[in-house]
Chains A and B, each alone.
Chain A
Amino acid sequence: MTIKRTLVANRGEIAVRIIRAAHALGIEAVQVVSAADRDSEAARMADQVVVIGPAPSKQSYLNAGLIVHAAKQTGCDALHPGYGFLSERAELANLCAENGITFVGPAAETIGALGDKLRSRAIAAGAGVPLVPGTDQIASVTAAHHAAEKLGYPVLMKASAGGGGRGMFVARNADAITASFDAASTEAQEAFGDGTLYMETYVENARHVEVQAVGDGKGRVVHFGERDCSVQRRYQKVIEEAPCALMPAKLRAELHEAAVKLLSSMKYLNAGTVEFLYDVNRQAIYFIEVNTRIQVEHPVSEQVTGFDLVQTQFRIAAGEAALPRQDQIKLNRHAIECRINAEDAAKNFMPSPGRITRWAPPRGAGIRVDSHCRDGYLVPPYYDSMIAKLIVTADSRPEAVERLKVALAHFEIEGLTTNIPLLRYIAAQENFAANRFHTRWLEQDVLPSFQQDHA
C-alpha cells in the first residue's frame, strides 16, 4: 500500500467509515474537525486530529484551503472527501493535484464534467445511454412555459449544478411554473453557487435506480449491481435496497451495461454511481446523473457483493490493480438500509440535535449499523441530521423486510427525537413488504396517515 497517511475531509459516520477502511489497509488517518467535532468518534479513532475552524461548515468542512493546508502540514499523501461537502467540487480535487496529494476519487476534470448535470446528459447521450426527455438550460419563466408545452405536463425543473433535491420542483401546469421558478433558481444559487435550471419530463410511477461502479482510470469499469432508492422525501433518500428486486433481469442487464458504457467512455477513475429513473409503466430506464463520489447508501452494495468499496477506493487511488473482473462480482442476497435521522417526523421533520442519553442499536446476524454516535454524544446542530445507517441483509427481500422490522423494533435511542417511528411505520406497510411503491409513495401515501396517527 503506497499511501501512508490520508486526510479525512468529512465528518460523522462517513469519517468513521473512511478511517476504518484506512486502518484496515495500514494507512494512518488525519481527521480535520470543526470546533464542534473535537470529541467526535472519528476524532477519537484518528491517528491525529486537527481543528481547522469554528462549527459552521463554510468555515470548516467547506473550506478547501484549510483542509488542504492541514493535509500538507501533517504530511498526508492522500485525501478522502467522503460524500457531500466538497466531494464533488473539482476545486478540492484540483487543489490536491496541485499539492501532490492523491485525491481518493475521480480525476478533477471528470468531477467537473459530470458535476454539471447538463453536460453529463450530453455525455450520456454521446455514449448512447437513454435520457429522460428534457431540455437544455431554461433562462426564464416564459422559456419554461414553452419547453413544458413541447415536453408535455407534468414536468420536473432541476438545478444543473447540483442534486439532493435543491432547486427542484414538479409543475403540472403553467401556473405552477410561474409560482416556483424564481424560488427554485434562488435555492440552487445558494446551494451550488449557480442558479441555472433545466427541465425534464416528469415520470409518474418511477423508481430511482442507480448502479454502483468503479473504474481503473484506463477505460475498464466494473459494476457492483444496482440499488433501488425509491423511498424518498423531498428528493432525499430515506430507504435504499440492493438489488432492485422489481426490475426484470433483461432490463437490469441493460441498466448495468449503460452505466458501465458511460463511465468507461470517460475512462472513469475510482468509485461512482450512475443514477437512472425506472419508468415502471413503460419498462424503460432513463439516465439522470452521475455521482462522482462514494455514496451514503454504498453499504447495501457491499452487503450483497461482499466487497469493501471504501477499501477499494483507497487501493485504486494507490495505483493497485484493485478492480476485480466482472465475473468475480456475484450478487447474493438482499440488503435494505434505513437512514436514521435526528428529526421529528411527526412535527414536519424539525431537526432534533442534542445529547444522546441512551444509544442501543440492534445487533445480530445480518445487522450492520454504520454510525458515529455513542452514549453521551452531543449531536451538534450545525450539520445534516443523519446519525446512523441501519443495514439489514437476508437471503431474500421478504426475509430482509422481516429482519428490518425486528432490527428497528430493537433500535433504542434516547435524548433526541429520531425518524425511527416513521421507519417502523414504513416497514409495517403492506405495500412496502410487497415491493409496491414509487418515488412519490412516501410523501403522498404514507406521510399523511403517519402524521395523522402521531399528531
Chain B
Amino acid sequence: MANPTPADIENLIELFNRSEWDEMHLKTDDLEIFLSNDPNARRPSAQVVAAPVAAPAALGAATTAAPAASSAAAAAAAHPAEVSIPAGMVAVRAPNLGTFYRAPKPGAPAYVEVGQAIEADTEVCLIEVMKLFTPVKSGVKGTVRQIVVNDGTMVEYEQVLVIIEPAA
C-alpha cells in the first residue's frame, strides 16, 4: 500500500473489526499500524504511537507524528521496547528514572565501550535526575556486550541500560 490515505486506514480498521483476529501488525515503507483488541497488548516497536481501534481520526493523526512538543518529548513518546537479554548475560538496569549518559562529562571518554573487560564495581554509566548525577555500577565482573540506550535519553526505573557477559 503506497501513500496510504485516511480512507485506507479506516478500511483496515473496519476489516480488523469484522474479523476474528486478535491483533494485526502492518508495516510498509510509509506506514506502520498495530491494531489489537487487547488493552494490554504491547506495541511491537518503540516508534509507533498506537491509538484506540474505535477512533480512525485519531489513528490518522497518530500515524504521522508524535504529539507536537519538544524533541525530548518526541523521543520519549512511547514506552521503551522490551529488550531481550541473551541467554547467560546480565542486564544492568536503571535504579530509578533519569537521563542516561555514557560519559562522566560531555566530551569525556565514555565510562565503558563494547568489548571492554570490567569488574563488578566498574561504573558503566551515569543517571541524572534534576542535575543530580549518580554513576551506576556494573554489579558483575565480565565483558560489556551491548550498550542499549542512547546517550542523553530518559530511562525508566529498571530499564535495561547495558548488557554484560559475565566472566566464566
Q: Real complex partners, A and B?
A: yes
List residues of A whose CB falls within 8 A of some B CB.
4-5, 28, 32, 34-35, 39, 44, 47-54, 59-60, 63, 65-66, 68-70, 72-75, 95
Say yes or no: is B130 at the interface (Cβ < 8 Å to chain A). yes
* Residues of chain A contacted by B96 (CB below 8 angstroms): 52-54, 59, 63, 66
Q: Are A50 and B73 touching (Cβ within 8 A)?
A: no
- Report 5 cross-chain contacts, Cβ distance below 8 Å, ordered by A residue: A35-B157, A50-B97, A53-B157, A66-B98, A66-B129
Using known A-B contacts A69-B98, A69-B130, determine if residue A51 contacts B73 with beta carbons closer than 8 Å. Answer: no
Q: Are B97 and A52 touching (Cβ within 8 A)?
A: yes
Using known A-B contacts A65-B132, A66-B96, determine if residue A51 contacts B156 with beta carbons closer than 8 Å. Answer: yes
* Residues of chain A contacted by B73 (CB below 8 angstroms): 5, 73-75
- Number of A-B contacts defined by CB within 8 Å: 72
Say yes or no: is B70 at the interface (Cβ < 8 Å to chain A). yes
Enumerate B72-113 residues with CB–CB distance to A below 8 Å. 72-73, 76-79, 96-99
* Residues of chain B contacted by A75 (CB below 8 angstroms): 67, 69-70, 72-73
* Residues of chain B contacted by A28 (CB below 8 angstroms): 67
User: What is the CB-to-nearest-CB distance from B96 to chain A, in angstroms, rounded to a whole number?
Assistant: 4
Say yes or no: is B163 at the interface (Cβ < 8 Å to chain A). no
Complex Cα distance, B97 from A48, in Å, reads 14
* CB-CB nearest 10 A-B residue pairs: A75-B73, A75-B69, A52-B97, A73-B154, A51-B156, A65-B130, A53-B96, A51-B157, A65-B129, A75-B70
* Residues of chain A contacted by B157 (CB below 8 angstroms): 34-35, 51-54, 60
Q: Are B130 and A35 touching (Cβ within 8 A)?
A: no
* CB-contact partner of B99 in A35, A73, A95, under 8 A: A73
* Residues of chain B contacted by A69 (CB below 8 angstroms): 97-99, 128-130, 154
Q: Are B130 and A68 touching (Cβ within 8 A)?
A: yes
Q: Are B77 and A70 touching (Cβ within 8 A)?
A: no
* Residues of chain B contacted by A65 (CB below 8 angstroms): 129-130, 132
Say yes or no: is B158 at the interface (Cβ < 8 Å to chain A). yes
* CB-contact partner of A35 in B70, B76, B158, under 8 A: B158
User: What is the CB-to-nearest-CB distance from B42 to chain A, in angstroms, rounded to a whole number?
Assistant: 12
